[in-house]
Structure 1
């Protein structure tokens, strides 16, 4: 009977809140097999659970990745006890990006469509002349930038995870929609004053350079990550922008909006730029830590977003 057990597999214990679940595995099982077995056992989506094991040397919990690595690498064997973390309700990563980036397009389109009503009836401007050529150009550039983002979200980006926490969009969606409204109200206003030509030319040159290079980084990362579920889900990028900083895509996105603000010069646009830098910095810290954990030779103090600055 013991021989049959050894041949047919072994059981581990998964602790979740006050309950314990016995899950059967094979010696050849992968981490993906482990997550699938646990998900079926506890009847929760595989996307919302994280499994942890205790590191014997430090006695600290260590996350087990969802990939094709063998469970033996994490010393999972008969009588192993794992801790389960329920990450809560999830939303598809790709859909969440589309939801975020479509908002600024819709907001500006509505501001333009109902501009006369908004400024004369609601904001009580005495008059609302037609948009100037410059205002039309800025609106076109704003919408083009976010159309690019929507296109990338659908056709370019590859995600190492299928989902993220639903609660995250309650921060990101108000950020994009709210700032789209504030920036749009400032630039499309009848009282808006166009900056001098030198600022417009320099600003939009930086804007398009940043947007082009940001797109290049996204395409490069997409081509680099052929199989998001493999062991090499986060291979080290070697293209020249990635030799400068950990996340050049963030660097060029920030540069894009610096250029936009040089050309348009509104407080709302400046606030949009500065506020957006905060989560990008945090994401860059997480990405550097992930690179270091997966690739021990990766520089631990490599600049995150701005070259030569940690």
Structure 2
């Protein structure tokens, strides 16, 4: 099957005809088997001079500009001999596993520094209260868990992310759940001996919120393992997830994540913790609803009673 590869036409560019004589110029022609996948097509395009490497390519086709996913066969998109596929260079890429390492390392560094180098951030030293000690252990544990999941649990459906996006994504973690959260939770206002520390440091409350947090973290880990087991190593297979948590929502990993951070916000009564909870919940809701709709489009037998992220609600 011969396909024309071109950049998306613009009003200022004259229409050209495909040619194999100057493959460094768009448009050009590539030839792939009729049974080829999108990944095969990306490899064929990358062999042409001046074309981006597979991880940098975003391929679309048709009037609706349908994005061609790397794990799909070309016949899924109805492509036939002589059709045109448009390519966009996404720019420098970074592996998703590396992205996750960077995102979760930021909060670990900031919480460690703020907690242990008080004079640098507050201009004084003081004894941490039971509340601060507990919050530090839980938050550090959360992000250490995330790093370990990245190394040993997650199987990524996409190989890379545009390098520029790493800064945007990392800012969310490094600033909101890192520096901002740490600065206010470990501040002298809730240090040992203060009235607020005595009020919030009730052993019963600390135990209750810790229990909720640990329940949510272990449940979150369980759903990540379920998702991992859906996808054989080295593949991008997609299946309907089932099991613990998935009976009510499509993304219980997000649901349990929200519960964990709600426990931190309830335990610390910190505006910074509440801010992170709201921002993170809103972002996860957007991710979940988009992926939930994709599940329903992809699987005709997808459970209709399931909600995206909040049981019985949305």
- State the shift of 1:299 in Å: 4.5
Partner residue of 1:140?
Answer: 137
Structure 1: give runs of 5+ residues left out of the alignment: 1-9, 121-126
Change (3 A) 1:285 1:87: farther
What is the aligned partner in structure 2 of residue 206 from structure 1? 212
1:261-284: CA deviation from partner (whole Å, max 9, x where unpaired): 111111001101111112111111
> What residue in structure 2 maps to residue 108 of structure 1?
111
Q: Distance in 2 between matches of 1:142 and 1:271?
A: 15
Give, in whole Å, the separation in 2 of the partners of 1:72 and 1:97. Answer: 33
Q: How many Å separate the matches in 2 of 1:258 and 1:204?
A: 11
Q: What 5-or-longer segments of structure 2 have no aligned partner? A: 14-25, 191-195
Matching residue within 268, 271, 288 for 1:284:
288
Q: Deviations over 1:97-117 (max 9, x none)?
A: 110101111111111332123
Q: Which residue does 1:261 correspond to in 2?
A: 265
Give the aligned length.
288
In structure 2, the residue matched to 1:46 is 54
Deviates more, 1:14-23 or 1:239-248: 14-23
Which shifted more, 79-88 or 263-272? Answer: 79-88
Contact 1:52 1:84 (C-alpha < 8 Å) held by counterparts:
yes
Of 167, 185, 201, the residue aligned with 1:187 is 185
Q: CA deviation at 1:301?
A: 7.3
Given the alignment, which residue of 23, 33, 38 partners 2:40? 33
SS in 2 for 1:229: coil
Pairs within 5 Å for 1:1-310: 10-17=1-8, 19-41=26-48, 42-54=50-62, 59-67=63-71, 69=73, 71-120=74-123, 127-179=124-176, 180-192=178-190, 193-194=196-197, 195=200, 196-227=202-233, 229-230=235-236, 233-299=237-303, 302-310=306-314
Secondary structure of 2:43's aligned partner: helix
8 Å Cα contact 2:92-2:163 kept in structure 1: yes
Distance 1:203 1:113 in 2: 24
**SS of structure 1 residue aligned to 2:60:** strand
CA distance in 1 between partners of 2:76 and 2:175 (Å): 46
Report which stretch shifted further, 185-194 or 251-260. Answer: 185-194
Counterpart CA distance in 1 for 2:125 and 2:35 is 71
- Shift of residue 29, structure 1, vs aligned partner: 2.2
Q: Could you say if the C-alpha distance between residues 73 and 184 of structure 1 is closer, same or farther in structure 2, counting changes exceeding 3 Å? A: closer
| SS at 1:241 equivalent | coil
TM superposition shift of 1:61: 2.2
> Which 4+ residue blocks in structure 1 deviate beyond 6 angstroms?
none
Helix, strand or coil for the counterpart of 1:14?
strand
Q: Distance in 2 between matches of 1:85 and 1:118?
A: 45
